[in-house]
Amino acid sequence: MIIMKVLSPMSEFNISFLRVLATTSKRKAKELCPSFTFLLALFFLSVGSASAQQLSTQDLGNSLTLINGAGANILVKQSANGDVLVVDGGLAENARQTLATISDVTGNGPVTMLVNTHWHPEQTGLNQQLGAQGAIIFAHENTRQWLTTAISRPWESTKFAPLPVSAQPTETFFHYGNLDHGGTDVQYGYLRQAHTDGDLYIYFPNENVLHGGGVLSNDGWPLMDWWTGGWIGGLVDALEVLLEVANDDTVIVPANGPLMDKTDLQAMRDMYDTIFQRISSGFRAANSIEVTLSEMPTAEFKARWGDPEQFVRRAHESLIPHYTPDA
């Protein structure tokens, strides 16, 4: 594993310089000396990197590289002709560092295709830059539609603005298919309503590497984003699709967390099926969310996956469109 360059967080220099800036801003602009202007530029450059994260890379062989630390796992594949395919982009605030890392591992190979495994910001943070450079942005059609729409979800105050047209997906699909990327065979498929309603997987059959997108959260409970079409029953179904795609030797890339194999995938499917059965039986018995929480439907999984409250709340809510006749 190669540890990449780290950009510094907000430093003492920045904080003390803020004080200088506050004092100096009372002066007229014409009094600013050249050295001050230089320091001002330096300050804003520093602030620009304040949110940067530590990225690391992992060589998966066959010109495939995993980038960690940008907000989501990013899979980079360089094809025989040098063209680069990127699966998910991380958060926009890390875009400059992510693009530098991609250039580094591909010898400045041109990124000709970016895949969004779903619409969330952790996946779409390179859309603006790579779209402007003319890369194909590939996604499920539902993902494209979410990215053209303002979204505000009922459980949080965060609002998501639509992406500019130049950053929206340019090629979409509905079911499944395959494409040739510079000599690399790429298979893809729709995972239906699962984490969202636009989830896809990307599979490189010759390299035997599978990116499962947002359906796979391997470092904690996932967001059960029912507001944009996800639901817990569909999450189980999607995991079963991935089990059909993978074989015993497949290297499986989740949206977050460490790499997985088919055994991990099966265990994850079984866990969510267990939780789904419990929550849905409570839901059909008209249990409130408070009753469901008190019954601890994730009890034996909590030690590994952490506090499940938000996941259980969203999972319970996600059943409403599927179990309520007039919903």
- Axis crossing angle, helix 262-284 with helix 309-318, rounded to the nearest 10: 60
C-beta separation of 164 from 124 below 8 A: no
For residue 219, the minimal CB distance to Zn ion (Å) is 13
Q: Which residue, 131 or 214, has its beta carbon nearer to Zn ion?
A: 214
Whichever of 70 and 84 has its CB closer to Zn ion, that residue is 70
Q: Please report the sign of the dihedral spanned by the C-alpha atoms of residue 199, residue 200, residue 201, residue 202.
A: negative
What is the nearest approach in angstroms of Zn ion to the Cβ of residue 294? 28
The enclosing H or E element of 152 equals: strand 151-152
Question: In the complex, what is the shortest distance from the CB of residue 312 to Zn ion, in angstroms, rounded to a whole number?
Answer: 18
Residues in the chain, overall count: 327
Nearer to Zn ion, 198 or 282 (CB): 198
Site of interaction with Zn ion (CB under 5 A): 120, 214
Rounded CA-CA distance 20/97 in Å is 29
Q: Which helix (H) or strand (E) holds 188?
A: strand 184-190
Q: Which is nearer to Zn ion, 119 or 188 (CB)?
A: 119
CA 274 to chain centre: 25
| Spatial separation of the C-alpha atoms in residues 23 and 224, rounded to whole Å | 47
We find the least distance from the C-beta atom of residue 224 to Zn ion, in angstroms, to be 10
Measured from the CB atom, the residue of 112 and 143 that comes closer to Zn ion is 143
Which residue bears the tokens 């530029």?
41
Cβ closest to Zn ion, residue 40 vs residue 313: 313
In the complex, least distance from residue 318 CB atom to Zn ion, rounded to whole angstroms = 14
**Sign of dihedral through CA atoms 33, 36, 37, 38?**
positive
Q: At its nearest, how many Å lie between Zn ion and the CB of residue 68? A: 16
